[in-house]
Structure 1
Amino acid sequence: MNLALIILVDGISYAGWLFLVGIGLTLVFGVLRLVNIAHGGFYAIGAYVAAYAIGAAASYGLGAGPQLLLAFAGAVVVGGLIGFLVERTVLVRLYDHPEVLVLFATYALFLILEDVTKLVWGGASLYAFQPRNAFGTVAIGSLSYPVYDVATVVIAVLVALGTWFVLNRTRTGRCVTAVVHDREMSAAMGVNVSAIMTGTFVVGSMLGALAGAVTAPKIAVSPGIGVEVIVLAFAVVVIGGLGSIGGAVVGALVVGLARAFATHLFPDLAVFAVYAVMAVVLAIRPYGLFARPVARKI
């Protein structure tokens, strides 16, 4: 029973982090039909901004709460600004081109963002563990678990609920849904499609940066952290179904629990768990578990 609880807690904790990493990617694909490899770059920038902000706040004697507030706010603002510049200067010129060209462009942007982090913060690792240590641990059954890791799951739940509310209960969300289904008809009905697409990419960039900021206190922020993350994010959104928010939730849970199960019972195979799950799901459901059916235009 204790092992089952450990697997469950670890799986849900990892799933919460995976959802934060993947939600921006699936949102951008759902609206723009854009496989955004640059998402990993926004994650890395968010992590670096957060680590720098936490270190600066700690040097002024601020507590863990203000440190995290500055870190999250700084990462979101910087991610949003860079996302806006990228979309307005590069991607807006490529929407009418073949998808493979847009894919190459986002890969080039990812490499550029990786180099930007090295130019700004150097090649040394940054450590921002102060907030995670400051919050201590909480007892879950017989386990002692970091409060910060539990808070990560809470943040993921709040982001999921906020995304659902905006998409389903606001006028902006209904406009986004209309653009997803038919851009031409949405434009004919008066929806500012260009603004919706720009706003979606900016929000996706902000969510990627937020995921990096949330992760910063848990890792050594080093060059290359965006590479592994973009692979995991793609695995989650592909399993759930590209463009499906609910699929991202389910995909994160499936991957998180599978990884925790493999880590504790078959540690030698843990590194393959994510990709094994993806292979099985795609063999049964080639477009993911919750992929929307694509209407064929006549």
Structure 2
Amino acid sequence: MLMLPAAIIDGIMYAAWLFLVAVGLTLIYGVMKILNLAHGAFYTLGAYVAATFVGFWLAGDYNPYYSYLLLLLAGVIGGLVLGVLVERGILRRFYKEDQVVLLLVTYAIFLILEDVVKMIWGVEPYVISQPYGLLGSFNIGLLYYPNYNFVILGAAILSGVGLALFLKLTRPGKLLRVVIHDREISMALGINVQRYFLVTFVAGSILAALGGALTAPTISVAPEIGVEVIVLAFAVIVIGGLGSLPGAALGALIVGLVRSFAVHYFPEVELFSIYAVMAVVLIVRPMGLFAAAEPRKI
């Protein structure tokens, strides 16, 4: 009797984490049409910066509740610095190239950053579990869940709602939607497309690093964590439709629930379940559930 509510709750919590780590990826693709494989490296860097900040803070015997502020600060600083360096230093030189070239460039950046992480922090795992257990837990019947899950759930909701309101209600957001729909017309209208590319890429990088920073207290932070994340984030945005914010939310919910039910009822097919769902969706909707119509140029 407990398995059904446990599967649903676990699925929702996992979906929130998936959306948090995938929303930056879908934002960058939606605006820049770049499938950023370096997204996993930004996630890894955010986790390591968070582990460093929080580790030093807790070692100094300061108020542990400020560690949550440090997690947010680590995500913002890591994503901001790395996003500016990568976009200004590398990506802007390849905007006129084919999407396949940009894909290979971001993959090369991912490989380089993975080695940079190992050079700076080594290969031994970092553990900062205190923020995870500090908030206590809640129970539903005989089921107990850490309250820290609500931190990730809240961050996912705030990032999704915040992006949606920004795009629909603010003037910069509306101009960004113009850039999304037609880059050439945007340039003809005098919109600084290069500036919007920079802001978009940095925002996506911060979201990726923030996902890593908020996840750091729940895992052992190691160099390989970005590989799994980029695969899962890719599955989420492919299911939802590349570049679609509602699609990323729905894709995360589908993947989260499917994985959770597989873990609880059919654990032997857990790894296969996510890719099976992605295959089924792509058979029915090859461009994803919320794929935007692609304009034809004559």
TM value normalised by structure 1? 0.98
Q: Structure 2: state its 5+ residue gaps.
A: none
Kept in 1, the 8 Å contact 2:244–2:291? The answer is yes
Whether contact under 8 Å (2:75, 2:207) holds in the other structure is: no
Q: Give the structure 1 partner of residue 56 of structure 2.
A: 56
Deviations 1:108-140 (A, max 9, x none): 000111111111111110001010111110123
Give how far 1:141 is off: 4.0
Q: Name the counterpart of 1:288.
A: 288
1:262 paired residue number: 262
1:232 and 2:232 are equivalent in the alignment: yes
Q: 2:150 — aligned with what?
A: 150
Partner residue in 2 for 1:210: 210
Residue 79 of structure 1 deviates from its aligned partner by 1.4
Compute the displacement of 1:297 (Å).
Answer: 1.4
Partner of 1:178 in structure 2? 178
d(CA) in 1 for partners of 2:203, 2:211 = 12
Aligned residues: 298
Structure 2 counterpart of 1:271: 271
Letter in 1 for 2:19: F
Letter in 2 for 1:200: T
Cα deviation digits, residues 4-51 of structure 1 (max 9, x gap)? 110110000000000011000000000000010000000000000011
Inter-partner Cα distance in structure 2 for 1:64 and 1:130: 8
Residues in 1 aligned to 2:66 and 2:120: alpha-carbon distance in whole angstroms: 24
> Superposed, which structure 2 residues align to 1:67-106 within 5 Å?
67-106=67-106
Percent identity among equivalent residues? Answer: 50
Specify the SS of the correspondent of 2:138: strand
**Superposed displacement of residue 154, structure 1:** 1.5
Judge conservation of contact 2:74–2:210 (CA < 8 Å) in 1. no
Once the two structures are superposed, what CA deviation does each residue of 1:190-210 show, in whole Å capped at 9, x if it has no partner?
211110011100000000000
Match of 1:248 in 2: 248
The SS at the match of 2:101 is helix
Give the gaps of 5 or more residues in structure 1.
none
Distance apart, 1:158 and its partner CA: 1.0
Asked if 1 retains the 8 angstrom alpha-carbon contact of 2:75 and 2:211, the reply is no
Give the secondary-structure state (helix, strand or coil) at the position aligned to 1:293.
Answer: coil
Secondary structure, in 3 states, of the residue corresponding to 2:61? coil
Residue number in structure 2 paired with 1:5 = 5
Q: Tell me how large the CA RMSD over aligned residues is.
A: 0.9
Equivalent residue number for residue 196 of structure 1: 196
Letter of the 2:188 counterpart: A
**For residue 65 of structure 2, what is the amino acid of its counterpart?**
G
One-letter amino acid of the structure 2 residue matched with residue 223 of structure 1: P
Q: Distance in 1 between matches of 2:236 and 2:62?
A: 36
Shift of 1:71: 2.2
Following TM superposition, the consecutive aligned residue runs of length 4 or more in structure 1 with deviations greater than 4 angstroms are: none
Deviation at 1:2, TM superposition (A): 2.1
The normalised TM-score by structure 2 is 0.98
